[in-house]
Structure formats: C-alpha cells, structure tokens
Amino acid sequence: MSPDAPQPVRTPAGPDTAALANNVLAAVGMADVIRTTLGPRGLDKLLVDQLGNRVITNDGYTVLVSLKTSHPVSRLLVEIAERQELSVGDGTTSTVIMAAEMLREGYRVTSEYGIHPSKLLAELDEGVAVVSEFLHEACIPVPSLKDPLVGKVLRTATASKLDGTQLSGLILSAVNHLGSGDRDDLRHGIILLRRPGDDLFIDGIAIEHLPQETGFVHEIGHPRICLVKDALRFPLPGVEAGEEAAGKDPGREQRDAFLARLLEKGVNVVVTNAPEIDHGLRIALAMKRVALIRVSTEELGLLSRSLDTPELYGAQVLAGPAVPSLAAEGIELDEEKGLTVIRAPGSGVVATLIIGGATAETSKERTRTCIDGISGVHFALKGGVVAGGGIAELNAARFLERTALGKGGGRKAGFELVIKGLESVSRQILENAGYNGYEMMTRLRTQEDGIGIDLDTGEFIPMVENGILDPLITKLSGIQIAAHIAKTVLKIDRNLVKDEVHREAGPS
C-alpha cells in the first residue's frame, strides 16, 4: 500500500491466514507454470503423457487442462481457465496471472495489516467497475470486416503462437472472403479442419469424406442437406416396429417411411455419424439420387454449429412435423483430396481452412493459433479494441490510482489488488521478452496512455498506431474472471476434508 495511506489497526479478531496462505500458494504455483508463455516472446511447454505422447505448446489453456493437480484451488483455476476459453477463446494465461497477483496482494494486506477479506471484496468490485468504465471509454470500434484494424487484431492474436505470421495471412484471406456477411458468430463462419500436410483454403464448406456413392453427385444441382445422428439401422431405436416386424424384413416399413419423409422435404444430401448404415437404405438412397456422407460425431457437431442446422435422430425424421435442413447452391467432389465441398453462402459459412502440419500434434497446435485469431476478430467486431501488449491494463491501473486519490483518503486496499493484477500483464510480457520488467514498468508509468514498448528495440511506441490491439470483450472477461477467482479464494478461511459417508441418507 502507499506510505500515505491510513494504516489499518491489527486486531486480535483478524482473519486466520493459514488456509489463505495455502490456497494462494496453490494459485501462484499454477500461474508460475504458464506465465512464461505470455506474449509474442513467450516460451513453450513440453507436455508428456504416461504413454510418452508429446505435445509442444505455449497455449496456457492447453497446459492448464493437461496438468495433474489435486489441490482444490488449483482445480478452480483450471475450471476458470476453461470458462475463459469457452466464452472468448483467448486470454487464459493473462487471466490466471492476474488472478494470482490479486491473491498474492490480498494475502499480503490481510496478513500484514489484519484487513478483513469482506472489506477487500467490496473495494475489489468497486475497482473492477472503475476499470471497466475506463476501458469502455478507451475502446475503438471496428465497424466491419473490411476495416484495416481487422488484420492488426489478427496479427496481435496470433503473434505468440506457432506459425502465427503465416497463419494470420491465411485467416485474413478467409475473413475477406466472408465479405460483409451478417453472421452473429464469426467463429463458426470459418470452418477449421486439421490434418498433416499443407494448408488449404477451400471456397465453401469442406467435409473430409466423400459420399458412399459418387457417380450421381454431379446431378445434384441444388443440395438440401439433412444431418442425422447415431442410428440408421431399422427398426429405429425408440420407434415401435409395424406389423411387418414378424416378417423377413422387420425394418422395411420404417425404412420406406424414412426415405419418403426425406424426399418429401426435398432432402438430397444426408450427412450422418451412424456407426452402421442399413444396407437397404443405402441402396434406396442411391436409387433416389440422395448422397449419403458418413462423418465422425465431432465433425457432425461442427457442421451443426457452423451451419446452424440441428442434428436429428432417425425417429425425429419419422415423427417430427418438420425436417430441418440446409439449402445450398452447389456440391462438388475433390476425390484427390478426399473432400466434399458444399457452397452455401446463405448459411454464413463460405470458407474452410484445412490446417496442415508435419505431424498430427503440429496440426493441432497450429489450429489453436487459428482459433485464437478468429476469436480475436469475432470479439473485435462485436465490442471494439483497445491497446494490446498489456498497455490497456496498465493504463487502467493508473486511472484507478488517480480515481482513488481524487476521492481523498489515499488508495484503498481492495483497489491495490486490482492494480497489482492489471500491472502484472505488461510486466510479464516484458520479462518474457528479456527485459527487466520492474524497470521498464517504472519508465512506462511516465508515458501517456496508449504508449508501450517495442519488444525488438526497447523504444516507446503508440500501440494502436503500430497495430498492437486486443478485443475489449476479451480484456474485460479476463479481468472479471480474475476478480471472481480472487473473491472466491479470499473468502475461504479454512480448508476442510469432507466425510465421504453420506450421513444425510440416514440409517439403512
């Protein structure tokens, strides 16, 4: 705390910090594992499982979810990392680092000055609200995919990732292909597939499988695609067989009804993950010129989300009042690459990126690079951008200091938690680039808002003008989640082991 701040009086009734020390140590330990991965000069981690399989990555989320840890606070950080990844697709590492620094400072002021955690939590919430208001004021809108800021956001989001420079160009070509399409979720506007080999840009929706019968596919002028999941053996599960059940072909009535239902709705392409496909249905679909494409469960789910078309059980096709399907403009086969390409610009999906690599693991890591880049563009478009490189957080911390001093009475202890958390991001990025983080931070504090450091030269530069930008939504999500972790852990005054016997059930 600042020397001129009023010094709290320690009281005998102050909180017991033994459990807090243990919990904070666990959180800081998790942050220490991934803090060196942050920023464009971040280092990689080598993950090895019990079978000897190796993964090299600098993705904080991948590292955290791969770790074996039994401490409940460590597990909490993993869960929160998953929440950040699922909600905004990036910012996991900085979120965990901020949370650890907030907790470290929270433990310090609690143990040294006897401040009750409840007081810290109220002030912490107040500080986050001030920071949120500041960042909204500093935000720069990104009005469309054609805005030059889009390419800068892409390059920033992928700068620290494997082949980020190369892949940002590939992603940008797909983004430009989307044009001015009004898609609510850009992350599903570009389909990502991965396999060893070269990178491929596909003008359309690529499915990594060919139809069961390919001879008539060129005859399908206007595809209408239905997604069917799980079972295509007749009789279908959950549907009572008809009177023919006692005959030689108990599923014939259902099979005929299923086919008639598809044809009635104009379906001429069926994509399914069914492990077994009824032989009679396969023949009947081919005779009616209906293409049948078999994919994995993961691929079917990806198509469903991307095309905004539900997956149906066979029973739903039979019994439902409607058969949801997607109308497309064309279908083509690339038999050399084993691809079925569907063009359906009306769906909002007009491009597929097949991410290659020397190995399956390399391809997977490069796909994570693309996910970060696309997520960055998506949220930049939704909520605008702020200065990257941890500078927006540093400027927000400085504003929070001025706000507290402007109200008189010195800096609040709860504000200190937020300030330490915010400052930790830019300091860690600088340290990972080989600088003395504390020294460079002292120099940065004398600069105007938006000024950062060129990691190559060590010179001061305006971050926005130099194209170093981060989405506002990603920043705010990380700060809010970090504060949530800090509040949760600071309120714990004792760690207890539960009795595994469920006594509430009563005697047997």
pTM of the predicted model over 0.95:
no
* 26, HSE (Cβ side, Cα atoms, 13 Å): 21
Q: Read out DSSP for 301-348?
A: HHHHHHHT--EEEHHHHHHSS----EE-SEEEEETTTTEEEEEBGGGT
- What pLDDT is attached to residue 359? 84
Q: Same domain for 256 and 167?
A: no
- Are residues 218 and 193 located together in one domain of the fold? no
Q: Are 144 and 180 in contact (CB under 8 A)?
A: yes
Q: Which domain holds residue 190?
A: 149-203+358-383
The two tokens of residue 179 are 């044009």
What DSSP string runs through 130-170?
A: HHHHHHHHH-B----TTSTHHHHHHHHHHTTSTTHHHHHHH
CB 145 within 8 A of CB 177: no
- 495 part of a folded domain: no
In a domain, 324, yes or no: yes
User: Shortest CA distance to 301 belongs to which of 328, 277, 273?
Assistant: 273
State the pLDDT at residue 285: 93
Q: What is the pLDDT of residue 504?
A: 52
Strand, coil or helix: what is 213? coil
How do strand 269-272 and strand 330-334 relate by DSSP bridges?
unpaired
Domain containing residue 82: CATH number: 1.10.560.10
Q: What is residue 347's predicted lDDT score, i.e. its pLDDT? A: 78
Q: Are residues 273 and 301 in the same domain?
A: yes
pLDDT the model gives residue 238: 63
Do 168 and 278 lie in a common domain? no
Whether residue 4 lies inside any domain: the answer is no
The answer to whether residue 507 sits within a structural domain is: no
Which 3-state string (H, E, C) describes 398-465? HHHHHHHHHCCCCCCHHHHHHHHHHHHHHHHHHHHCCCCHHHHHHHHCCCCCCEEECCCCCCEEECCC
pLDDT at 237: 72
> Which residue do the tokens 């890591």 mark?
365
**Residue 187 and residue 95 in one domain:** no
CATH at 309 = 3.50.7.10
- pLDDT per residue rounded down to tens, the chain (508 residues): 444 444 444 443 445 678 889 999 999 999 999 999 999 898 989 888 887 778 888 888 889 888 888 898 998 888 888 888 887 878 889 999 999 999 999 999 998 888 888 888 889 999 999 999 999 999 999 988 888 999 999 999 998 887 888 888 888 888 887 755 555 567 777 888 888 888 998 888 999 999 999 989 999 989 999 999 988 888 877 666 555 444 556 678 888 999 999 999 999 999 999 988 988 999 999 999 999 999 999 999 989 988 888 999 988 888 877 889 999 999 999 998 899 999 887 777 878 999 998 888 888 889 888 888 988 998 998 999 999 999 999 999 999 998 877 666 566 888 999 999 999 999 999 999 999 988 999 999 899 999 999 999 999 999 999 999 999 999 999 999 999 999 999 998 888 787 766 555 555 4
For residue 52, count CB atoms less than 10 angstroms from its CB and return exposed for 0-12, middle for 13-18, buried for 19 or more: exposed
Q: In 3D, which of 36, 365, 405, 14 has the Cα closest to residue 194?
A: 365
Q: Is there a domain that residue 129 lies in? A: yes
pLDDT of res. 24: 93
- As for how many domains the chain has, the answer is 3
Is the residue at 3 inside a domain? Answer: no
Same structural domain, 38 and 169: no
**Are residues 248 and 292 located together in one domain of the fold?**
yes
What span, in angstroms and rounded, lies between the C-alpha atoms of 56 and 67? Answer: 14
Residue 106 included in any domain: yes
Question: Do 283 and 238 share a domain, yes or no?
Answer: yes
d(CA 65, CA 84): 12
- One domain, residues 155 and 261: no
User: Tokens for 408?
Assistant: 């008189």
Q: How many CB atoms lie within 10 A of CB 215?
A: 9
Q: Which candidate, 202, 209, 201, places its Cα nearest to that of 344?
A: 202
What distance in Å separates the CA atoms of residue 439 and residue 161, rounded to the nearest whole number? 27
| The predicted structure's pLDDT at residue 191 | 87
pLDDT of residue 1: 44
- Tell me, yes or no, whether 470 lies in a domain: yes
Residues 185, 261 within the same domain: no
Query: What pLDDT shows up at residue 249?
Result: 65
What is the predicted pLDDT for the residue at 3?
A: 45
Q: Domain check: are 179 and 285 in the same one?
A: no
Residues 30 and 129 occupy one common structural domain: yes
